[in-house]
Amino acid sequence: MTFKLIYTADLHGNEEFYKRLLKKAENENVNAIVIGGDLCPRDGNTIREKISNQKLFLENFMISLFKEFRKRNKNIDIYVIMGNDDFRINLKILENAEKNKILKSIHDKSIKLNKNFNIAGYSFVNPTPFRLKDWEKPDFENVKNLLFLNIPENHEVIFDNDKMPMQLFNEEIRSIEKENGTIQEDLTKLKKLSNPKKIFYVIHAPPFNTKLDIITTGAHVGSKSIREFIEKEKPLLTLHGHIHESPKMSGSWKDKISNTICINVGSSYPEDKLNCVIIDLGNLNDIKYFELKE
């Protein structure tokens, strides 16, 4: 028996994209919908406004939309994680929706996907030059000191994965208290929840030095600890997002680390099309890529 899921990431509050995603899920008769982070819009002039706008989006649009969808499609589960552009203080909204059986919030969890496999999620990304730090952690313990540099918004920033990247702003923004630790430590704990070879991982940041983590400068900016985890544990499939332009830069939305298939569908913004894939878990060699237009 086949088990199909549709995967996308980095919707950033685009309501039309959400509607297209659900319509495609229905038309393709999938068993699951998976969204790999950056759920919410970035609108607002102040931090308080931005947090409030994301809260309203989640409560009044996304969860309401999912609730109606689930009424019509009781056998299609929806799995989500937040990304680094989502304020973590609103995570409780997803957790409440999970209690009401509208969706499944899978950050730092391993949940039964079908009789053969689990699905696990992880939202933290390796450090970026941006202000919002709710979902950032260092890869490893020995990250060098943070450097601050005021740089115009349209200026490209080159990352160095052996130290914290230079920051675009001289302030950090957090909506909740900082969570200590490293990505490496978190993934070590996550793998203990069930057999990594029987889990499909949804990890917002892509692995370092792949076709999935290339920015416009050509630099690789993915997570070294996530790559290390994949190399060591060898899961069958990992799903990523975060670096919107990488598929265009590399020419591919998928890559392999040993036998692990890794996917980042990217974002076509500002073009009006939603990138996604449909995966039959019984045949990972036949993953179908779509660009959903109006």
DSSP state of 62: I
How far from 120 is each of 238, 257, 279, CA to CA, in Å? Answer: 10, 19, 16
The single residue listed with the structure tokens 């203990």 is 192
pLDDT at residue number 162? 55
List the Cα angle 75/76/80 in 5-degree steps.
140
pLDDT at residue number 152? 40
The single residue listed with the structure tokens 């409780």 is 92
Per-residue pLDDT of the chain (294 residues; tens, 9 = 90+): 689 999 999 999 999 999 999 999 999 999 999 999 999 999 999 999 999 999 999 999 999 999 999 999 999 999 999 999 999 999 999 999 999 999 999 999 999 999 999 999 999 999 999 999 999 999 998 754 333 333 344 434 444 445 678 776 778 999 999 999 999 999 999 999 999 999 999 999 999 999 999 999 999 999 999 999 999 999 999 999 999 999 999 999 999 999 999 999 999 988 999 999 999 999 999 999 999 998
Which tokens is 115 given? 């009789």
Per DSSP bridges, beta strands 273-280 and 4-8 are antiparallel
The secondary structure of 175-226, three-state, reads: CCCCCCCCHHHHHHHHHCCCCHHHEEEEECCCECCCCCCECCCCCECCEHHH
pLDDT at residue number 166? 77
pLDDT at residue number 1? 61
Question: Contact 6/21 with Cβ under 8 angstroms?
Answer: yes
pLDDT at residue number 175? 96
**Could you tell me the pTM of the whole model?**
0.92
Structural domains present in the chain = 4-293 (3.60.21.10)
For 266-269, the CB contacts below 8 A with 24+ separation are: 266/10, 266/241, 267/10, 267/12, 269/12, 269/244
Distance in angstroms (rounded) separating the CA atoms of residues 264 and 245: 10
Going across the sheet that includes 199-203, the strands are 110-112, 118-122, 199-203, 237-240, 260-264, 254-257
